[in-house]
Amino acid sequence: MADVRHRLVLGGARSGKSRHAQVLAEATGPRRTYLATAEARDEEMAARIALHQADRGEGWQTLEAPLEMPDALGTVAESDVVLVDCLTLWLTNVMLGDRDVDTETEALVAALAAARQPVILVSNEVGLGLVPETPLGRAFRDAQGRLNQRMAQEVEEVRFVAAGLPLVLKG
């Protein structure tokens, strides 16, 4: 990642995007920070989180920031790379917390610009499927699309992962 400061890794559910981002981070250096946005609100999510933790293994520091992710990004000190997994859950937390999505997005842009180390952002591409049935679902889909577009503007490289295979869209 010598000439690439920040990356965005997009993909659908179970596309391999998180694994791909983890491989990129592990190739960057031995001191890695995983900035987690998920909350274990039920047994299934707790199991998913445990699986991700076990898969990471040694060499990772974990910061949990389900809502205050931009602030947490600014606190990472001794790390070669930061992996944010994922923007989709962070956006969910922002919306369910009745926060202004545009304000929070701009806070993330500022935190990304100020980051002292490379940052890899993971996010779901949710606009390729069916139109959600509910107003909240449609609002989320639209907000996620706008967030992904904004992050793609701010990073040097964007990759789309499908079936575990990455495709470079930018950079």
Query: pLDDT for 18-40, tens place per residue?
Result: 999 999 999 998 999 999 998 77
Closest residue by Cα to residue 81 from 64, 109, 106, 59: 59
**Claim: this prediction has a pTM higher than 0.85:** yes
pLDDT at 152 over 60: yes
Q: Is 10 helix (H, G, I), strand (E, B) or coil?
A: strand
> Tens of pLDDT along 34-59?
999 987 777 887 677 677 766 777 78
Q: In the prediction, which pLDDT does 39 show?
A: 77
Most confident range (mean pLDDT) of 73-77, 128-132, 162-166 is: 162-166
Mean pLDDT of 9-21: 95
Q: Pseudo-torsion of CA 32, 87, 89, 97, nearest 10°?
A: 120
> Tens of pLDDT along 80-138?
899 999 999 999 999 999 999 999 999 999 999 999 899 999 999 998 888 999 999 99
Could you tell me what percent of the chain has a pLDDT over 70? 95
In the chain, beta strands by DSSP E: 6-11, 32-36, 60-64, 81-85, 119-124, 157-162, 165-170
Q: In the prediction, which pLDDT does 1 show?
A: 44
Q: In the prediction, which pLDDT does 110 show?
A: 97
In this structure, the number of other CB atoms found within 10 A of the CB of residue 61 comes to 14
Higher-confidence residue of 167 and 29: namely 167
Mean pLDDT of 151-168: 97
Give the orientation angle of helix 135-154 with respect to helix 87-96, to 10 degrees: 130
Catalytic residues: 52
Q: In the prediction, which pLDDT does 48 show?
A: 74
